[in-house]
Chains A and B, each alone.
Chain A
Amino acid sequence: MSRGLLVIPAYNEEGVLPQVLSEIAAAGLGLDVVVIDDGSHDDTARVAAAHGASVVSHPFNLGYGAALQTGYKLAVQRHAPLLVQMDADGQHVPGEIRALIEPILAGECDLVLGSRFLEPSGYEMTALQNLGRHAFRLVAGLLGLHLSDPTSGFQAMNAHVLEVYTRDFFPTDFPDVDVLLTAHRHRLRVGERPVKMRKGLRRSSLHGGLRDFYYVYKMLLAIWSAPRLQIGSAGSGGTGET
């Protein structure tokens, strides 16, 4: 059985990757670091490899969600017991990863989200982002999943979650509260731990302009259509731990 994987989806991130990978190395986490190069046009893959990360390169750009799912598929292929995902833009602090892993190693949760809002962290969002977060919190809460930061991409998960997330429903663009609800519906135990985050080292290309509206629209549609299939044996029974 391999060690856990730390998956970092990256698209044109050659500028910030060295700092992120150096911080990860300094944290001494004992995880195999894998950068999923999502068809970058710059030297993302070379820079990542030069800083000691394994690199899996998509032949062309598939989207953030697809890059994450490639990492999940790699973890399944390697029989990794757990996977941590973090962004390549420097927003997520490698030193917080242990806090995410602990509940999984202790068998308390199947999926743990790093929350910026479980404890006061001073993290600021734009008004629109805040509105979206509260809307998703409300929708998720109505469906029985109570989370303070459902849009957090800083997550750790075990093999049960990986088995579900490698299926075809997983979105190629923005996997957020819709996939969390799918995990919840599969009776996987979703929990949160407080983490500190900082503003990304560069502006994220994921949101902005009309994309924010498309994101909200797409997410509501995805929440409505999230697979309702129950797999029973995947998780250990509980839900929504915080």
Chain B
Amino acid sequence: MNQAQKLNELRELFLSAPESESTRLLAIAISLGLFVTVLWLVRRGSLREEYTPIWMGIAFGLTLITLSPGTLAWLTRAVGAWTQSTTVFFFGELCLVAVCLSYGVRLSRAGLQIKNLAQEVALLRAELERMATGQGRGAERSSVT
């Protein structure tokens, strides 16, 4: 038996190993906990509704995988991993990357809006003070906060 065959057999052994019941229960608890936490944060106003889809998606995906044991095994074979835990970590990382990118986009948009607002405030203040002081030179100073 050559080394490749040995490795394949070893991999099959890993993939056919029965899933631990305690791991399944832990995963169900985590996904339910994530659902509840997101809903609770929305209810108390700490998390806006538009930021929830990605977290709900992660919680839903985790629940789906936990409740249908064959799904994770199938995914593990599909991505070429050896163990189901590797697949969970792999997709977990993908989710985190998606979350970070999503926040990067939102931050960029918010930063642009803040810059435009600050410029508008500065210009309006300058204009107000200019009007208040009869448009004299050196009179457009707006207050520094």
The chain A residues found within 8 Å of chain B, CB to CB, are: 34, 36-37, 39-40, 45-46, 48-60, 62, 66, 69-70, 73-74, 77, 168, 172
Contact = CB atoms under 8 A, between A and B. Distances in A.
Nearest to A54: B140
Given A37-B144, A49-B138, A49-B141, A54 B126 contact: yes
Contact of A58 (B111, B118, B137, B138): B118
B99 interface: no
SS class, residues of chain B in contact with chain A: helix
B118 A54 contact: no
Contacts of A77: 123, 127
Given A40-B144, A45-B141, A56 B126 contact: yes
Contacts of B119: 58, 62, 66, 69-70, 73
A151 B85 CA distance: 52
Contact of B142 (A55, A66, A168): A55
**Chain B interface residue count: which class?**
20 to 34
Interface string B119-132: 10111011100100
Given A45-B141, A45-B144, A55 B126 contact: yes
B122 to A, nearest CB: 5
Interface in B96-145: 111-112, 115-116, 118-119, 121-123, 125-127, 130, 137-145
A168 B116 contact: yes
Nearest to B140: A54
Contact of A52 (B122, B125, B127, B137): B137
Most buried by B among A46, A59, A172: A59
B144 A74 contact: no
Looking at A48, A49, A56, the one whose CB has the most chain B CB atoms below 10 A away is A56
Given A48-B141, A62-B119, 20 more contacts: A34-B140, A45-B144, A49-B139, A50-B138, A52-B137, A52-B138, A54-B137, A54-B139, A55-B141, A55-B142, A56-B126, A57-B143, A58-B118, A58-B119, A59-B118, A59-B122, A70-B119, A70-B122, A74-B123, A168-B112
